[in-house]
Amino acid sequence: MKIDSDILAENSIRSRSSWLHWVMRRKWFLIFVLAPTVVAAIYYGLIASDVYISESRFVVKSPDQKGSQLSSLANLVQTKSLSSGQDQANEVLDYVRSRNALVDLGKGYDVTQAFAPAEADFLSRYPGVFQNNTFESLYKFYGKKVSAELDTETSSVIIRVQAFSPEAAYRINARLLDLSEAMVNRLNARAQTRGISEAEVRVFEARKRVRDARVALAQYRNASELIDPVKQAGGALEISNSLVSERATLQAQLDQMVSMTPRNPAIPALRARVKALSSEIAEQEGRIVGDRNGIASKLSGYEALTVEQEFATENLNIASAALVQARADAVHQKFYLERIVDPNRPDEPLLPRRLWSVIVVAASALCLYFIGWMLVIGILEHAPED
């Protein structure tokens, strides 16, 4: 019996020794591959909390509108109210990912409590092991749990929210969708207000230009002592032409009388009338094309002021039409958010992918182990022999 006991003890020692030898030979594999895999299996299989995902989709659209009835010049004056729907969608994406969205979300819902329920595991919930209970930490956690991206094929915005309960995922997603719609409305209001304000500024400037042009024209009339140089020059020219016609008639009578009755006593009177008519004609022509005080010399300045007044009046009409159009556009919403997929209440958790996560950990650890093993073999092969 004693011999059998010794044999059993010896076999036990030998078995233990061989097992320790096997463990020592594979200790690095066990440390760097098997241990992380076991830890991952324990965490994802027994500890990791279920994560529910709520998804919603929407597009930013602009309703079809008829072309403006304004002239092409009025269209140039009118300001462009809003950009394309694609730009609006990008602005919504930036908003959902921003700190402002988190602040607005917290006004109507306790985001911290949604991300830090008691039933969530200590590694997944907020704040994490190495995080502080600050707004910046909450924002980083929010960025991990809320994603917003643009589907380039359909031009739709996709919002996905991860939470530890179906209700929390749904409520956060629905709240973000409401906030996005409110933001589109604010952008509309801001752009429309800017369009009306710019149109009103253009109308004000056009009115000032018309007023200045009329004042300048009135001052020129007072300075030149002319109401309408064009009409006045036409009247003077008409008088001059009638006088020239009358002088020609009298001159013909005078020539006939001189040739037929040179001693006629009426000849001096006719000559005096012809001379007076010539003087009157010279005076009328002097009013029109005389020195710098003549109507012709003042006509260019008057015409320049008249053209400026006409242009200013036309510009005022165009600016007023653009203002009317801007106010009409403000009545209708330029862009609107159309929901394609409303936020869903998930009925089963989609994360974590427990088996897949364990496989990924095992594969990653195995790859790192083989890389390290090859590096060690390479170093030993090239090491100098003692």
- For the cut 70, the answer to whether the pLDDT of residue 325 exceeds it is yes
- For the cut 80, the answer to whether the pLDDT of residue 308 exceeds it is yes
- CB contact at 8 A, 92 and 60: yes
Query: What pLDDT is attached to residue 65?
Result: 42
| pTM for the whole structure | 0.63
Query: What pLDDT is attached to residue 257?
Result: 74
Handedness of CA 174, 180, 184, 186 (dihedral sign): positive
Q: What is the mean pLDDT of the chain?
A: 79
Query: What pLDDT is attached to residue 239?
Result: 66
Q: Which residues pair with 163 in a beta bridge?
A: 52
Query: What pLDDT is attached to residue 67?
Result: 42
For residue 318, count other CB atoms closer than 10 A to its CB. Answer: 21
- For the cut 90, the answer to whether the pLDDT of residue 365 exceeds it is yes
Summarised one tens digit per residue, pLDDT across range 60-108 is 987 654 444 444 444 444 444 444 567 788 999 999 999 999 999 999 8
Sequence-separated (6 or more) residues with CB below 8 Å from residue 184? 60, 88, 92, 335, 336, 337
> Which of 78, 118, 31 minimizes the C-alpha distance to 322?
78
Query: What pLDDT is attached to residue 309?
Result: 82
Query: What is the C-alpha separation between 136 and 113, in angstroms, rounded?
Result: 16
Q: Which residues pair with 57 in a beta bridge?
A: 158, 341
Which residue did the predictor score with more confidence, 262 or 60?
60
Q: Which residues pair with 351 in a beta bridge?
A: 51
User: H-helix or E-strand containing 143?
Assistant: helix 135-145
Share of the chain above pLDDT 70, in %: 73
Q: Which residues pair with 337 in a beta bridge?
A: 60
User: H-helix or E-strand containing 179?
Assistant: helix 166-224
Query: What pLDDT is attached to residue 142?
Result: 95
- For the cut 80, the answer to whether the pLDDT of residue 316 exceeds it is yes
- CB contact at 8 A, 33 and 131: no
> Which of 140, 145, 129, 49 minimizes the C-alpha distance to 352?
49
Summarised one tens digit per residue, pLDDT across range 111-146 is 999 999 988 998 899 987 777 889 999 999 999 999
Summarised one tens digit per residue, pLDDT across range 35-65 is 999 999 999 989 999 999 999 999 998 765 4
Q: For tokens 């995902």, what's the residue?
A: 53
> Which of 15, 185, 175 minimizes the C-alpha distance to 105?
175
- CB contact at 8 A, 111 and 172: yes
Stretch 146-173: mean pLDDT, rounded? 94
Query: What pLDDT is attached to residue 83?
Result: 45
